[in-house]
């Protein structure tokens, strides 16, 4: 049972009316009646619906890239978190999370946890790991690799995301967006957001949450724990990243990336990457947005022009991160994590 000192129910009717959304509230739960999709947030071209971009001139084979290091990680390497001088990767099939050293290319230590899922994040001297097997959030000391806390809060779904910011850890649960105090390892607030929300990211003093069900990006003010903006984006947004003054959502329904300006809360670009479907991930770094998808393990979007500048196809993909001067890419089926030195063009 989740211990909360404060439960916030902020998805207010008056706020929804200002946004032009038709909803019904019953016992504090929001039930959507009709959400109309914004045309600019959808990709209607064949390029977005097809697998891979039609602009073959920018496509390359992933085998053309030469990694600086390749780490063998059995068990379906998936979620990753960047920490000082290392990256941690979850291998759910083996019930473990593994540290990959960026300087020595060594693998280890290994942390055992039942079905690690829904993302990883490193902050406050710790690695934070949602567990779908134990319906809890684990805290691991980055220096020792030892579990130091188990918090009774379950992730909303196995495919989601966890974030840190404003002195807190943020994770979507079935009850809403949970705010965890790293000082006490307790849930101190739960913010009600639209249904079908699974992933979170932090930027510009706010937590950003995607609602896959309603094709929306939600902004939660970290000072007040209140929903302050809702933005229509592409079809079935799932994973998201923050960078370049924007929030970027990976839209599984349309094979697009939506860019939302954090200052104005407005959709400013919809970019076709041609990889619709479940899975994949998105990250920001080195002046670009990077997406990954099985069969198209890496796509680069220039954050200055909102244009796809390269797309690599072939085996590999499913999770991507940028940190420690490198781009990190998992090969879920092949059981490896590759480290590519930046810049990468």
Q: Which domains does the chain have, with CATH numbers?
A: 7-34+46-341 (2.130.10.10)
What pLDDT does 181 receive? 98
Residue 250 CA to residue 41 CA, distance in Å, equals: 12
Closest CA to 339 of 48, 331, 329, 110: 329
User: End-to-end distance of the chain based on CA atoms, in angstroms?
Assistant: 48
Pinpoint the alpha helices (H) of the chain.
Answer: 13-18, 46-49
pLDDT tens sequence across 152-173? 999 999 999 999 999 999 999 9
Residues 323, 327, 331, 332, CA torsion sign = positive
Q: Which residue bears the tokens 């809403």? A: 176
**Is residue 136 helix, strand or coil?**
strand
Rounded Cα distance, 342 and 326, in Å:
5
- The phi-psi region of residue 275 (left if phi > 0; otherwise alpha if psi is between -120 and 50; otherwise beta) is beta
Cα–Cα distance between 70 and 200 in angstroms, integer? 29
DSSP states along 218-282 = EEEETTTTEEEEEEE-SSSEEEEEEETTEEEEEETTTTEEEEEETTTTEEEEEEE-S--SS--EE
Q: Closest by alpha carbon to 149, among 176, 129, 132?
A: 129
Phi, psi angle pair for 238, to nearest 5°: -125, -75
pLDDT of residue 56: 76
Distance between CA atoms of residues 322 and 15, nearest Å: 36
- In this predicted structure, what is the pLDDT of residue 306? 98
Residues sharing a CB contact under 8 Å with residue 242, sequence separation 6 or more, in sequence order: 201, 202, 203, 204, 208, 248, 262, 284
Give pTM, 2 decimals.
Answer: 0.86
In this prediction, residue 233 carries a pLDDT of 98
Tell me what pLDDT residue 55 has.
Answer: 73
Q: How high is the pLDDT of residue 37?
A: 31
pLDDT of residue 8: 35
pLDDT of residue 13: 32
Residues in the chain predicted with pLDDT less than 70, given as ranges, are 1-50, 54
Beta bridge partners of 312: 60, 298
């Amino acid at each position: 049972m989740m211990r909360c000192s404060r439960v916030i129910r902020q998805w207010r009717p008056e706020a929804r009316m200002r946004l032009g959304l038709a909803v019904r509230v019953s016992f504090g739960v929001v039930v959507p009646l009709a959400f109309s999709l914004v045309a600019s947030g959808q990709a209607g071209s064949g390029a977005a619906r097809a697998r891979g971009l039609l602009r073959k001139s920018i496509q390359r084979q992933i085998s053309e890239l030469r990694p600086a290091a390749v780490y063998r990680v059995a068990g379906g390497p998936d979620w990753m978190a960047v920490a000082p001088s290392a990256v941690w990767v979850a291998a759910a099939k083996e019930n473990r999370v593994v540290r990959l050293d960026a300087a020595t290319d060594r693998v280890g230590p290994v942390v055992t946890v039942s079905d690690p899922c829904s993302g990883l994040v490193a902050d406050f001297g710790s690695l934070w790991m949602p567990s779908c097997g134990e319906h809890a959030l684990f805290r691991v000391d980055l220096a020792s690799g030892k579990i130091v806390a188990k918090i009774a809060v379950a992730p909303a779904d196995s495919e989601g995301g966890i974030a840190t910011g404003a002195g807190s850890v943020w994770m979507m649960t079935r009850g809403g967006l949970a705010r965890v105090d790293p000082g006490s390892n307790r849930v101190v607030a739960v913010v009600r957001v639209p249904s079908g929300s699974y992933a979170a990211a932090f930027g510009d003093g706010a937590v950003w949450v995607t609602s896959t069900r309603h094709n929306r990006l939600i902004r939660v003010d970290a000072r007040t724990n209140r929903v302050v903006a809702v933005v229509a984006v592409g079809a079935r947004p799932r994973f998201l990243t923050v960078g370049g003054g924007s929030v970027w959502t990976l839209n599984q329904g349309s094979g697009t990336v939506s860019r939302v300006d954090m200052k104005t809360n407005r959709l400013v670009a919809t970019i076709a990457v041609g990889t619709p479907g479940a899975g994949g991930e998105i990250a920001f770094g080195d002046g670009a947005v990077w997406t990954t998808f099985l069969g198209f393990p890496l796509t680069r979007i220039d954050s200055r022009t909102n244009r796809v500048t390269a797309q690599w196809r072939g085996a590999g993909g499913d999770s991507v991160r940028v940190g420690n001067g490198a781009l990190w890419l998992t090969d879920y089926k092949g059981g490896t994590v590759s480290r590519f030195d930046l810049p990468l063009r």
